[in-house]
Amino acid sequence: MPNLSGRPADIRQHIHHAIQQRLAELLDQVKGSDAAAEARRSALRETWRWPQLLDEGLKYIGQVQLATHLVKAVHPDPPVRMATNLLVRPQDMHALQEVGSHVLGEDFDLDATGNGAVNKKVADLAAVLMATRFESRSLLDHLQAGDEDIGLAFGLRAEQTALLADITGQRCPTPASHRKLKQLYWLTGTDALDDEHYHLLAPLYATSLAHRVFKRLRTERFGDAVQEAQNARKAGQFHERPIRIWPHLAEQNLGGTKPQNISQLNSERRGSNFLLASLPPQWRSRDVVPLLQTETLFHRFGRRPEVRRLVRELRSFLATQPPRNKETRDTRDDLADELNDQFLLFSAEMRELPPGWSDVPECRLPDCERAFLDRSPGCLRNDWQHELAGRYANWLNAQLGASDALKMGDAEHAHWRRDLLEALADHEQELNHAD
């Protein structure tokens, strides 16, 4: 590139600084010092060079559509020139109360689709242009506003500058859906028999939102801070970071063995897309009534649908005689932890009753169970947790050993008892910390 001065030189300096900063961030993410890690670092240094990054991106701009909402995630066949993908910046969307792409704001991941072999080249170039700020605007904004100094800074001819400015342009010449895509007739008027009262909608995949969800859930499930909180819980220690779970979380794979054919962000996730549970509500009577005329809380607790499901899953897993390794222990402990959570939830529901409900003669529960379920029972010892944990372990051993396939003994009893004592201590610590 020719030597420059003045404003074009400042622009070039900004772009070089932005690329070096991005390269440093990517290199920091590569762990290890083996041959594979070094090869990855070498590939990154080769990719993130200027003007090679510019030259490679310019070659393929016409084959790639940048988007926040994708067609190929709905069906992989439609080419970008025959079906409309959308690029709508979240900050320009209408603000709604519901969760949607509008919540992403200015910090969002732009996707690239069209040609799996070169999506990344165009996506990387676009990311640099959008992220590099000059005179309080992105270089892409300057470029699309007709700023001639951008072309001078990049050493581009006029037609190349026009092509680069069109990097976010629409590859499909007219708004179009495709016969293999989903389409919905949406009633907008009052007469369901009148075709004019419908809009035909073609749902697209909110790829930028899906990518944010994926990164958030991955961090919440496997991040270093989460691991520290989980280790603290197992050690019976307090940790300021809460542990969050997402029941019935599903994982959808897009693209099979070639996720890059869907889009660049899908390739970065290796095709993985998390789906939060969207189950219809189930009517259940949640009226909490005192436990009277019964000898133990476990009769009612054991009939709860979620408790029965967890016990059934744990029994089935242990009946397979799994190998004694870390994976087996983790699976067993995950199910046992969910049962402990259900036990604490049962207590929380019972404690919604007026304090002292267990003091009446009709309540025949043991003192340890009364202390667990009643916010203010009369005249009870302070060491009730150990007796309760023993009764819980007896109950769980009996549930798991109901068939001849499993025999539960003292070792299992000690394990369940210890687990519940730790859960009770954690729960008490959280309540004290909240107060």
pLDDT in tens, 80-114: 999 999 999 899 999 888 889 999 988 888 899 98
Per-residue model confidence (pLDDT) at position 266: 93
Per-residue model confidence (pLDDT) at position 310: 95
Q: Is the separation of the CB atoms in 400 and 315 below 8 Å? A: yes
Instruction: Read off the pLDDT of residues 238-268 as tens digits, 9 standing for 90 and up.
Output: 888 888 888 888 889 999 889 999 999 999 9
Confidence of residue 283 (pLDDT cuts 50, 70, 90): low
Q: Which of 215, 267, 219 is nearest to 244 (CA)?
A: 219
Per-residue model confidence (pLDDT) at position 231: 87
Least confident segment among 62-76, 272-286, 321-335: 272-286
* Residue range 18-22: mean pLDDT, rounded: 88
How many CB atoms are located within 10 Å of the residue 168 CB?
A: 18
Q: Which residue has the tokens 């340890």?
A: 368
* Residue range 323-348: mean pLDDT, rounded: 92
* Residue range 339-361: mean pLDDT, rounded: 92
Per-residue model confidence (pLDDT) at position 12: 87
Least confident segment among 40-44, 283-287, 338-342, 405-409: 283-287
Q: Which residue has the tokens 């490679």?
A: 56
Per-residue model confidence (pLDDT) at position 432: 65
Whether the predicted pLDDT of 290 surpasses 60: yes
Alpha-carbon span 86 to 70, nearest angstrom: 7
- Report the chain's C-alpha Rg in angstroms: 30
Round the average pLDDT of the chain to a whole number and report it. 88
Whether the predicted pLDDT of 372 surpasses 60: yes
Whether the predicted pLDDT of 68 surpasses 80: yes
Q: Is the separation of the CB atoms in 278 and 305 below 8 Å? A: no
Whether the predicted pLDDT of 1 surpasses 60: no
Per-residue model confidence (pLDDT) at position 3: 65
Alpha-carbon span 156 to 58, nearest angstrom: 10
Per-residue model confidence (pLDDT) at position 238: 83
Q: Which of 145, 175, 177 is nearest to 161 (CA)?
A: 145
Whether the predicted pLDDT of 421 surpasses 90: yes
